[in-house]
Structure 1
């Protein structure tokens, strides 16, 4: 199940239309339908501020329950840092592999990969 599928499942369970959700959170019209590989940190922060019971780990990775039992125990900033650190490690590894196969600098390849990832994660921002 994708991030988009999980978000739609949450909205259905809460009986919230996509349009109402987008407006309430302050996201662009059609945001839910245009979710690609993930949700930007900015959008995730907006969602979290309006729906604190939504388990972000479930939304992003499908881990745990959809709703958190105790929303005070969750630290969004810490979850975002861990996710960003994981992405950074993956990008560095992919960049190194591509650099080896193409003969380019791993720094240049990593920058190009980061640009591509950011464009896919933030298509409307």
Structure 2
């Protein structure tokens, strides 16, 4: 299997389409397909662009087929990232606990204002009716 064929495996794994990847790596339209069809390879400049844009891709695997497709650090979620998500979730919960009562209060105020306006409309309609008689 050639490097372009393995790169297509990577793209399929990530659900990337070739035209998007070509734009991201500043390659000409159809470059990847031509390399794959002709059993070609990637030059150093192209590999550098690919590596820069897709740091999770194991370049050794791309070139040789040995090892894992993805670099080890991209396969395992980092503890710091998980902690950040947990902290943000906790913050979100606190904000929502404060925000929901405020929204309920605002709803009550709007309902009261609506009721007042409805009474005013009824009074005006009554006055209009009296004037017409």
Equivalent residue, structure 2, for 1:5: 5
How does the TM-score come out when normalised to structure 1?
0.54
Match of 1:122 in 2: none
Cα drift, residue 70 of structure 1: 2.9
More RCO (CA 8 Å, sep 6+): 1
RMSD: 1.3
Flag structure 1 segments of 5+ consecutive residues without an equivalent: 72-125
CA displacement, residues 39-89 of structure 1 (integer Å, 9 cap, x when unaligned): 000000000000001000111110100000137xxxxxxxxxxxxxxxxxx
Q: How many residues are aligned here?
A: 71
The 1-side partners of 2:10 and 2:29 are apart by 18
- Scaled by the length of structure 2, the TM-score of the pair is 0.50
**Rg larger in structure:** 2
Q: What residue is the counterpart of 1:23 in the other structure? A: 23
Quote the Cα distance in structure 1 between the aligned partners of 2:28 and 2:73. Answer: 29
Gaps of at least 5 residues in structure 2 are: 75-133
1:63 maps to which of 51, 61, 66: 66
Runs (4+) of structure 1 moved beyond 3 Å?
none
